[in-house]
């Protein structure tokens, strides 16, 4: 067997656009997978928030039933989880205008904070991450 004296060159100008297209398609599939599990993950956190709310002394039933999920307008991969229950600023006020979640999430009672939504996110963080990883793992299969 002898040595080949022919040298072949690969023209990268053909390769780069093809690789870029493959990466773009994969990126779009990954982002689609993340967007598809955003509602599922938000529901996990919402269910945990409801569970935590029911255990609190200040829940009259209205607060735990007022948790909602809302998609963000500009960020399609983000969901807002909040509570729609409002209270009056003063007992003489005619209309309830202050979101109860602002009072409960950001105030302290006897030196302790009581963030329900923060705790719910913390409790479900690993499950949410695993859902995203599993969805991404199924991309391209």
The verdict on residue 24 lying in a domain is yes
The verdict on residue 124 lying in a domain is yes
The verdict on residue 8 lying in a domain is no
pLDDT for the residue numbered 111 = 73
Could you tell me where the beta strands, DSSP code E, fall in 37-125? 67-71, 79-83, 86-87, 98-99, 108-109, 112-113
Handedness of CA 48, 50, 54, 59 (dihedral sign): positive
Q: Give the CA radius of gyration of the chain.
A: 25
Q: By residue range, what is the domain housing residue 132?
A: 15-137
The verdict on residue 41 lying in a domain is yes
How many domains would you assign to the chain? 1
The verdict on residue 72 lying in a domain is yes
Do residues 68 and 43 lie in contact, with contact meaning Cβ atoms separated by under 8 Å? no
Q: Is the pLDDT of residue 2 over 60?
A: no
The verdict on residue 9 lying in a domain is no
The verdict on residue 30 lying in a domain is yes
Determine if residue 119 is left, alpha or beta; phi over 0 gives left, psi from -120 to 50 gives alpha, anything else beta. Answer: alpha
Q: Is the pLDDT of residue 127 over 80?
A: yes
Measured at the CA of 126, the angle between CA 39 and CA 117, to 5 degrees, comes to: 60
pLDDT for the residue numbered 103 = 81
Confidence of residue 56 (pLDDT cuts 50, 70, 90): low
Do residues 50 and 67 lie in contact, with contact meaning Cβ atoms separated by under 8 Å? yes
pTM confidence score: 0.72
The verdict on residue 10 lying in a domain is no
Between 19 and 140, the higher pLDDT residue? 19
């Amino acid at each position: 067997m002898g040595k080949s004296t022919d040298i072949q060159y690969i023209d990268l100008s053909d390769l780069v656009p093809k690789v870029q297209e493959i990466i773009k398609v994969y990126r779009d599939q990954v982002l689609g997978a993340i967007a598809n599990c955003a509602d599922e993950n938000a529901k996990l956190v919402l269910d945990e928030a409801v569970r935590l709310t029911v255990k609190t002394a200040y829940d009259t039933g209205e607060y735990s039933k007022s948790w909602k999920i809302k998609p963000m307008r500009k960020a399609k991969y983000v969901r807002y989880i909040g509570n729609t229950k409002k209270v009056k600023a003063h007992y003489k006020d005619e209309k309830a205008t202050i979101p109860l979640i602002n009072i409960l999430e950001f105030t302290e009672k006897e030196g302790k904070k009581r963030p329900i939504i923060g705790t719910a996110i913390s409790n479900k963080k690993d499950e949410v991450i695993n859902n995203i990883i599993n969805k991404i793992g199924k991309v391209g299969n």
